[in-house]
Structure 1
């Protein structure tokens, strides 16, 4: 029956069936083919999959990011980072990366980063004389920082399906998030020098101070979220509530950008719609994951991978290559729910730190969101820049290399991921 499930999944993806329906159909086929299983198990698995308490953080972080995007906080971060690094050659590209790094501490979503900052930065970069291919590529690449640096929606999902501490996962993403920003800024430096990209007017301490004061309340958001988690004031899930309340306070009381309740209502509706899509995928993926666990796919994977090698570096590299391939076609949430629990016995058998695995796997899957043929972040930035997929891919090639180098660094030096959580959590 495993063959039947795999065939239905393959057909669904080939004909372009939505991911949730493809996964749900594959699970349903298994239940229908087994006369001893009641059909009511399918909706039961769907509901159970979306009931996890930890998953409540996903719509909360999404709402916080949407509120910040819609109330001018993104523009203030943009102005501050432009005053900080805009005077360098290729300055607005640095602005793009640093703004993504700051925004990543608020939303935890690559798509929120790509759409929110991309709508501001891509037109600005093109107007200043940057190639559209480069502008969209640096936006898509820098948006991968969002799900790595805490808070992170994919890491919440990994914690929910595996039982790994979400707090440890969050802290595991701190150094890799900084590393990603550094790698991309080094790459931007050489590209900007080679292509003679423009820089803004000279450095102004007065403008920097003024923009910093204006952006300061927004800049404190990551400090409040991460500090609260580390200080034990609230859990990562509760931090989502704090992020929403803090975003409303900053936008409504400090900046007074919320002129009417309709702005909040619009973002509530937008978040609810997208959350429903995500949870439908989550529920369908849980049903399919239950099926794959029932037919002992986890044991098959464990035996196969340990037969190939028991070296943690080799096993983790093989998994990353598979995730990189799957990530180009499947939604990351579905991959996390279906495959991560199945791979945990392998991870434990060869001695890979679960936090190390979770953060590395997340970055690999986020690269898939910026990769043809079905990367959602790719579609978002291409739509904003009015650019073809082919031209975007050409512009992304140097950034793909930088992202892969970051993954290799994290695989070869596990302490890049594990040091900070071990310091704070023991």
Structure 2
């Protein structure tokens, strides 16, 4: 056990990537100990990605890339400007609302930061906001990506913890909205302190148009529900409502109605049993292709090929991390290291609230050094047995773990969102880190609330019958 952990840490200290360190440390342990056949390394790594839920990974990544190249991000941004740009600290509020909408399509914090971030930071600087404030609010809002469904970390966690990915998706909605409210309040605080006003003039027509688009999106599931209650079949009701929405969108040329429909289609489809979370990823890609090629006609074969190659590159790196983490986690289990760590934690406390505090500190620390996917793959086998033993709902713990790891993405030495925003804003990593620090306050407040108020996470899945 000690050899395995020391090999992993030693390779990391030598500057090797986390995935290579895990695979290399596992190989060193197998060769030196002689207790495990060499072929097991390859077998376990292949078994780590031989999973139906993992098929969602490339499709959600592709959906996010397609949304970017199809110009949907700019439409989302324009919609957010119309909705909240007139508020104090206008473009700061736009930044957050834009991330909420884009989160319902991409599923990753990095896609949010890279896609919307480049548009948002440039616009905020042009309107007189400091680069530091622009970077800080963009970083904080990017953490919403994996909390509001769909979410790649939820897919990996659900597979590792053997819990419903659909329930995880639904459980992330209220925490995501709660985080949104905290971030908007933080922007309002900075605006009040600095005397900022709105960035676009208040206009009833612009606000009314944006509000109408939201109402149309919300009316879609309501119309389906009423039609089903009246005796229509679900398929007939949904088809009729969809055709009506398409006609309205074509007639009035709304800017973002169909883009806003993405979360409704994904969550509604899973709730109605039309497709699994994995199939929902395929639905997200089909919807993105429809918008880019048919409705907005902003996608070309060249940009489609570019998005495909970017997806292959990203998927390869993600799945390599999963394969390396799988053999490492398997060895942690077979060498009783995971059990020993679990027993050690339980020897410190058997109180679930104290355990949640310790778990938060551990995951926050790990998230600053290890990639999100790798961290989930390593930590879940260690912590889930304790979670179940102490009576903590694994769905709630999945939200807690994911939010911790999203906060870790904002920190050096390995915070990917930190480096993406440093590159976009042309700030040094040190200045980018300092710009993000004030925004840790609303994120930590959200983390504490989600940890110690289970209803924030579990109420909606219970209401929808996804949890007993």
The interval holding the TM-score normalised by the smaller chain is: over 0.9
Q: How does 1:247-262 map to 2 (within 5 A)?
A: 247-258=288-299, 260-262=300-302
Check conservation: 1:128, 1:198, Cα contact below 8 A. Answer: no
CA RMSD of aligned residues (A): 1.2
Question: Which residue does 1:82 correspond to in 2?
Answer: 81
Q: Which one of 234, 255, 273 corresponds to residue 232 of structure 1?
A: 273
Check conservation: 1:356, 1:418, Cα contact below 8 A. Answer: yes
Q: How does 1:5-404 map to 2 (within 5 A)?
A: 5-208=4-207, 212=213, 213-258=254-299, 260-404=300-444
User: CA distance change for structure 1 residues 36 and 14 in 2, over 3 Å: closer, same or farther?
Assistant: closer
Distance in 2 between the 1:268 and 1:3 partners? 42
Post-superposition Cα deviations, 1:297-332, rounded to whole Å, max 9, x if no partner, equal: 222122112221111111111111001011011001
Distance in 2 between the 1:306 and 1:210 partners? 55
Distance in 2 between the 1:197 and 1:12 partners? 49
Check conservation: 1:87, 1:201, Cα contact below 8 A. Answer: yes
Post-superposition Cα deviations, 1:81-140, rounded to whole Å, max 9, x if no partner, equal: 101111112100000000100110111110100100001101111111111111011111
Distance in 1 between the 2:275 and 2:34 partners? 47
User: Aligned residue pairs: how many?
Assistant: 424
Check conservation: 2:7, 2:29, Cα contact below 8 A. Answer: no
Q: What secondary structure does 1:200 align onto?
A: coil
Aligned-pair CA distance for 1:198: 4.7
TM (normalized to structure 1)?
Answer: 0.97
Q: List gaps (5 residues or longer) in structure 1.
A: none
Q: What secondary structure does 2:143 align onto?
A: helix
Check conservation: 2:18, 2:371, Cα contact below 8 A. Answer: yes
Q: What secondary structure does 1:220 align onto?
A: helix
Distance in 2 between the 1:193 and 1:59 partners? 43
TM (normalized to structure 2)?
Answer: 0.89
